[in-house]
Amino acid sequence: MLSTSARLLRLASLLQSRRHWPGATLADELGVDTRTVRRDIDRLRELGYPVEASSGVGGGYALGRGAALPPLVLDDEEAVTLAIALRTASASIAGIESTALQLLGKLDQLMPTRLRRRATALHAVTLSLRTGPPLVDAGLLSVLATACRDSRGLRFAYRNHAGETSQRAVEPLRLANYGRRWYLIAWDTSRSDWRSFRVDRIEGAPKPGEHFTPRQPPADVAARIERGIAYAPFSCRVTLRLEGSVQALETQIPVWCGLLEPESDTLPAAGRCGQPGSAAGPGADDRARRRVGRRPRPAAGPAAGGRADGEAVHVTRLDWPP
């Protein structure tokens, strides 16, 4: 049977792990009776945990919101995950570096040696290459995330890939992360359509607008974002026909390099997967064809992950000047 102190820590951890706990279930988890659970709940309240209780059918306990953040209780996996996530996020999001270091210092002080070694292993063996400053400010991400959550419109100045700035009024829906880049998916009220905005191209502080009723997003919202990532930076759009199945080539071609579809005439191109191919489509001018032809071909053999003989796919975007 757990000591009182150990039982209180375990109870605090359980209450933080899910929204609602029936009293009997908590008693079973702790190996005590429901009267002991009630006494332990009172002890947690004295320590600053705002525990709410409800009676009747479906009654139980829930951790509420208090004036101050109560102490968090983390298990081994949660502590290691938090430490790794803090190191990773501080490299791509500006404005959280000092806070992340303070929190990491607290974790390092509290974690046993076996966990500290796990949490720092990735950082210790990783060579940091020059990638430029963080792309997104943490404060801006927080403003956008809050607007998405609260269904509140935003107005901001936005700079496109050509450097042209325009004023946008949007109904924000979601934030999407791709590598070091963040995108805001929103309904553009002036264009009456869904748009994705690179967060690092939002200039100044967005101005909050009116509350709105969220629209039903399109089923292909993820595909729209991927298409925008692949198309936006380039004026030359060329289609390549590559040998291999979509499933095999997906492991070799990231989203930023192009989109894959079974034999189709709708996509522009990028051939960086080492697979044999040829340029096709209206954007495939003579210079593009010559450059495709000069690329070395791999030794004969099946494509990674297997390939279907005779099947061809198109890849979007050719990262070459027009």
For the chain, the 3-state helix, strand and coil shares in percent, each to the nearest 5, are 35, 25, 40
**What CATH architecture does domain 4-63 belong to?**
Orthogonal Bundle (1.10)
DSSP assignment letter at 309: T
First-last CA distance in the chain: 74
Residue 143 near residue 206, CB atoms below 8 Å? yes
Note the pLDDT of residue 265: 42
Q: What pTM was estimated for this model as a whole?
A: 0.54
Angle between helix 76-89 and 113-125 (nearest 10):
30
pLDDT at residue 317 greater than cutoff 50: no
**C-alpha span between 32 and 39 (Å, rounded):** 11
pLDDT at residue 298 greater than cutoff 60: no
CA distances from 231 to 29, 71, 115, 226 (A): 53, 47, 44, 9
- More confident: 17 or 247: 17
What's the chain's length in residues? 322
pLDDT at residue 322 greater than cutoff 70: no
Note the pLDDT of residue 266: 40
- More confident: 26 or 243: 26
Residue 278 bridge partners (DSSP): 241
Residue 317 near residue 248, CB atoms below 8 Å? no
**pLDDT digit string (tens) for 214-225?**
998 877 777 767
**C-alpha span between 237 and 154 (Å, rounded):** 32
**C-alpha span between 315 and 259 (Å, rounded):** 5
Q: What is the mean pLDDT of the chain?
A: 74
**C-alpha span between 184 and 146 (Å, rounded):** 12
Note the pLDDT of residue 170: 97
**C-alpha span between 232 and 251 (Å, rounded):** 23
Mean pLDDT is lowest, of 56-60, 86-90, 119-123, 303-307, for 303-307
Torsion angle of C-alpha atoms 191, 197, 202, 205, degrees rounded to 10: 80
**pLDDT digit string (tens) for 193-211?**
888 899 999 999 999 999 9
- More confident: 94 or 258: 94
- More confident: 298 or 236: 236
- More confident: 66 or 113: 113
pLDDT at residue 48 greater than cutoff 90: no
Torsion angle of C-alpha atoms 109, 114, 116, 121, degrees rounded to 10: 170
Pick the CATH number of 136-216 from 2.30.30, 3.40.50, 2.60.40, 3.10.310: 2.30.30
Q: What is the mean pLDDT of residues 276-304?
A: 45
Task: Beginning with the edge strand found earlier in the chain, give each strand of the sheet holding 260-262 in spatial order.
Answer: 260-262, 312-315, 239-243, 277-280
Note the pLDDT of residue 238: 64
Beta strands 193-198 and 239-243 are unpaired
**pLDDT digit string (tens) for 149-191?**
899 999 999 998 888 999 999 999 988 887 678 889 999 998 9
Q: What is the mean pLDDT of residues 16-40?
A: 91
Q: What is the mean pLDDT of residues 39-58?
A: 89
Note the pLDDT of residue 130: 58
Portion of the chain with pLDDT greater than 70, in percent: 66
